[in-house]
Structure 1
Amino acid sequence: MIERDWGRPFEDPIEIDGRKLVTLRDVGEYVAALPKREHDQREWRAAMEALLLVVNLGGPTMFARIGIMRALNRHHVPAFNPKGKEPHWGRRKLKRDQ
C-alpha cells in the first residue's frame, strides 16, 4: 500500500542552518516561511512541485529530497579543472633518460 502523508520521514534528514528537516511537513513549513522573492524562484517552485507529488501520489521521499537539495544549492558552482588528472606515465623517468 502506498503511504500518502505529510508526516513521512526522509531517509536522511536535511540540515539547514543548524536545523534538521526530518519529515515532508518540516520541509513544507520551511519553504512556506521563505521570503516571497526567494519562494517564487524557479528552483523552489520545482522543489515544491516534487514535494506535492510525493505527498499526493505517494512517491519515494528521495524525489522531494533531491528537489530541496537542488534548490538549496542553486548558487553553488563546482570548480572545474580542465587539466584533470595527470597521466601516470608523465611523472615516471625512463631508464634511458637517466
Structure 2
Amino acid sequence: MTKGWRRPFDDPIELGGLRLVTLLDAGEYISGLPKKEHAASAWQAAMEALMLVAEDGGPTMFARIGVMRALNRHYVPELNRKGKEPHWGRSKLKSDQ
C-alpha cells in the first residue's frame, strides 16, 4: 500500500467550489482555517487521522471520515414528527390473548 500525503481519497470531498482530492489537500485546508476553528477538537482529530493515514498507511477512508465529521460537527438532524409514532403500551403476547 502506498504511503504519503499525495494519496487520493477514494471519493473526493466537495466543499462548495473547493474540492479536496488528496490527503495533502485536506491537510492544507485544515491548516488554513482560522486559529480558533483549527483548535477545535474535531479538527484536531481529523488532522491526527490524516497524519496517521499519510505516514503509516492504511485506508484513506479513515482520514475522510475524520474530515467529514469535523465539517459536519454542528449539524443537528431535524426531528421528523410525521414519522411512525412509537407504541408505548404493553406488548401483547399470544398467550395473553
For the aligned pair, the TM-score class normalised by the smaller chain equals: 0.7 to 0.9
User: Could you tell me the percent identity over the aligned residues?
Assistant: 65
Map 1:1-98 → 2, pairs under 5 A = 2-81=1-80, 84-85=83-84
Distance 1:82 1:51 in 2: 38
Distance 2:81 2:61 in 1: 32
Which amino acid is the alignment partner of residue 30 of structure 1?
Y
Displacement, 1:84?
Answer: 2.9
Show structure 1 runs of 4+ deviating over 6 A: none
Number of residues of Structure 1 aligned to a counterpart in Structure 2: 86
Displacement, 1:57?
Answer: 1.0
Counterpart for residue 90 of structure 1 = none
User: In structure 2, the residue corresponding to 1:22 is in which secondary structure?
Assistant: strand
Which amino acid is the alignment partner of residue 31 of structure 1?
I
Distance 1:53 1:80 in 2: 36
Which blocks of at least 5 consecutive residues in structure 2 are unaligned? 87-97
Which blocks of at least 5 consecutive residues in structure 1 are unaligned? 88-98
TM-score (norm 1): 0.81
Higher mean C-alpha deviation, range 18-27 or range 75-84: 75-84
